[in-house]
Structure 1
């Protein structure tokens, strides 16, 4: 059997079980700095490099995915968080499942992120690799460098499909 994923709008509340939404919004703490020239949107994500790790910054360049798309695998980073901040201004897809044992297809959540929203996957949260849409897209990625294996990859027993990009609210 194949599960069809329903697309949800990415909001901080809906994404909270999986990590943080990184965005400049009136709903987050913000204040003026630099003699009134800059608005600082403060403390948007908890970066967790884990024991003996350090936070590093990379750029990931994602190739666009075509729909319909079959989700066959997921990954997680058991030793640290992983943040994705889009640089191309393009929407992208986020597929997640709760931290813990291998997820079932029915546990997957699908979010549409705007081109000005980043996500920070909390330590151990299952997620699909980068899902750029429409065109090649660059992302600043903040994640962990350090000893030990920090990427678990699993194949789903049941597949999930992304058929279309019509959003629903959760």
Structure 2
């Protein structure tokens, strides 16, 4: 289901920042090797010089691997929260995402946000010709019909919680060594791959679904004078970006 919203108000300024577990914690989780400096053979040694394993890690595969347990939360909330109570199941798919062009100012324009209200969604990048992507997320407003920009709306989207809070939208730059899990109901932009024209980044996407469109995915499209511009600077962490809402 897509909800189209015409907005007016003061600009939103967002600066892209590096993706870290701490910064992303309120939106989901970042999955990556927490200790790339630690080799399995060193950690599995029985000698006194063996490197200590981090909390939650165990030596595995006869000492040839390190297993970091509970790396990300996987949740299926359909049975307890979806209005239709239609049974859900796991879905694993592959997304081949083309690199998106940036503006001459090194910014990217977003006018669509979506969420999956009853499931987590994990994007795991595969080795591809591109290796960087942009993660754009927003908190959810209270169910009041407001969207944080002065506009007011009513829609079935609100039955699963409020609209995106554009005033507190965040953007993160991720590498191909990082997977990301969006928490259930987290508003996010469709995947944005960064890189040269003609390159792609492939993702294995893991989630749950029940085949009911309004329960599997809810989409908000922002409209204004031509389009709503949510511009995220990628030049440097100190550079701000401008949205025209």
Higher strand share: 1
Partner of residue 153, structure 1: 219
Deviation at 1:47, TM superposition (A): 1.2
What SS is found at the alignment partner of 1:167? coil
Query: How many residues were matched structurally?
Result: 168
Partner of residue 143, structure 1: 207
Residue 73 (1) aligns with residue 112 (2): yes
Q: CA RMSD in A?
A: 1.9
2:113–2:221 contact (8 Å) kept in structure 1: yes
Q: Which runs of 5+ in 2 are unaligned?
A: 1-9, 36-53, 80-86, 141-160, 239-245
What SS is found at the alignment partner of 1:93? strand
Higher helix share: 2
Q: Which runs of 5+ in 1 are unaligned?
A: none
Residue 111 (1) aligns with residue 155 (2): no
Deviation digits for residues 71-122 of structure 1, max 9, x if unmatched? 1110000121100011126111000011442124322100011111111001
What SS is found at the alignment partner of 1:3? coil
Partner of residue 93, structure 1: 134
Name segments (4+ residues, structure 1) moved above 4 Å. Answer: none
Higher Rg: 2
2:55 and 2:20 map into 1 onto residues whose CA distance is 12
2:97 and 2:32 map into 1 onto residues whose CA distance is 20
What SS is found at the alignment partner of 1:61? strand
Deviation at 1:147, TM superposition (A): 4.1
Partner of residue 34, structure 2: 25
- For normalisation by structure 1, the TM-score amounts to 0.89
